[in-house]
Structures are given as structure tokens and as C-alpha cells.
Amino acid sequence: MRHARAYGFAGLAVLAIAAAAAIAQTTVTPVPEAAPVQAVPLDASIVADLAKAKPGDAKAGAAKAAACTACHGLDGNAIDPALYPRIAGQSERYVSRQLALFKSGERVNAIMQPFAVALSAQDMRDIGAYYATQKSGAGIADDSVIAAGPNKGMKFYEVGQKLYRSGDTSRGIPACMACHGPAGTGNPGPAYPHVGGQQAWYTARRLEEYRTGTTNERDAALFHIMSSVAKPLTDEEIQSLSSYMQGLHARGEQG
């Protein structure tokens, strides 16, 4: 299959932000199914404890992240992209909060919970600080032509590209780049996550979880933001958005 490059130009989004241009690399990526997991008792105090810890120390976090490297790699770009998500380039605040959610049982994952349960709030912030210093790579997005349906004739990633850049006002869907930035690097204020270059199977799974609207999070405000965005999305749109973001990275960077 030939490869194409789709350039994302900085422009006005929902929050009228201006940023550097982005580029999405293209081709096909399969989406494996998520494994079933077992819930554990909830303990919301674990998430609250993050605020009591000191700002993360990236040097200390590098040592504490040793167990993470078996799946996520030394730099957070995943040992096997078909099995593990990228965490390189995520903010300290986002990584530490997700680790706390795994430990508390508010986010359910049978692989992550045993690792997270051994971490203190300071460990989580240090690990988050370390991965925040790492540079995320990028994959490639699907540029095959859609053969049937409402988007017939479009390249597969173009459906997601349109939603990412412009949203769909008729359905109340904001542009993804308003929160996640033109290159998918996230915005620092509310710590929206880095989504550029993320494995398509992982993004699709998360969007499907948001679309169902069911969560164990005690403070579910951020979850509900994404749930409202994902609810109107079709299966094709979720897969296309995930593919587009997999290839998304800042202009000049190579995945």
C-alpha cells in the first residue's frame, strides 16, 4: 500500500488556540480486542493523596519506572506497539493520576493494578515526571479508500482528520485539537493527554469506553467530558480518529 502524508495546519479550534502544524503518517493498523479484567475495591483517597506529594523528580522516576520498561520500553514508546500503549511525552499530572486510578480500583486493568498498588503517591509523581521528559514516537495511519457508506471515496484517516481538526457542530462534537492540540501533544493547563502517535487500537478502545459512558471514577468530571464527545461517534469514526491520531506528530518529526 502506498503511504501518504496528511499535514495538519494550526488554526482556530473551539478554544481559538494557535499552534504549530502537525503531520499524520498513513497506512493500515489492526485493532486487537481488549482482554477482560477484574475489578477491585475502590479507594478514592489514593487519587487525593497525589496533591499532598511533592512535584515529581524525573531522575528519581527513571529508577522507579524500571518495572514499567518491560511493557512500555525504556523511553515509554512500548516494547510491542500491538500490545502496549505509548506513554512517552505524557504529562506528570496525567500519568500520576492514571496510576492512582489503577491503584484505587477506579480504573480497572488486570495488568496495571498489581504494579500500581505498590506505588506511593510520590512514586507516581516521579514516574510521571520521568515519562514527561521522554519524546513520543508516532505510527502511521490508514490511507486506504473507503468503499461504501456515508464516507465512500474518502481516505480512511480523512474522516478522523476532519473530526480532529474541526469537530461536527451539528452533533455537538468539538474539534479534538481544541484540548489535545494540533499535533496531539495535549494542553498543559487541565493536563489533557498526549494523543499524537498513540497506538490506534488503544485509542479506539478508550473511545469505546467513553462512548458507553460507564465509569468507576469518583471524580468523573474529565471522564464525562470525553463521554459526551464520544457518545455521537460511529464505529467508523472511532476507528478513523484512532488511526489518524496514530500517525499524528509535529511537522518535521519522524515516528
Q: Grid cell 499532598 — which residue? A: 52
Q: pLDDT tens digits, residue range 206-230? A: 999 999 999 999 999 999 999 999 9
45-132 and 5-26+140-250 share a CATH fold: yes
Question: Would you say domain 5-26+140-250 falls under CATH 1.10.10.10?
Answer: no
Interatomic CA distance for residues 125 and 117, integer angstroms: 14
**pLDDT of amino acid 187:** 79
pTM for the whole structure: 0.83
Computed over every residue of the chain, the mean pLDDT equals 86
Question: Would you say domain 45-132 falls under CATH 1.10.10.10?
Answer: no
Higher pLDDT, 40 or 89: 89
Q: Grid cell 497506512 — which residue? A: 27
**Domain spans of the chain?**
5-26+140-250, 45-132
Q: Burial of 96 by CB count in 10 Å (0-12 exposed, 13-18 middle, 19+ buried)? A: buried
Reported residue count of the chain is 255
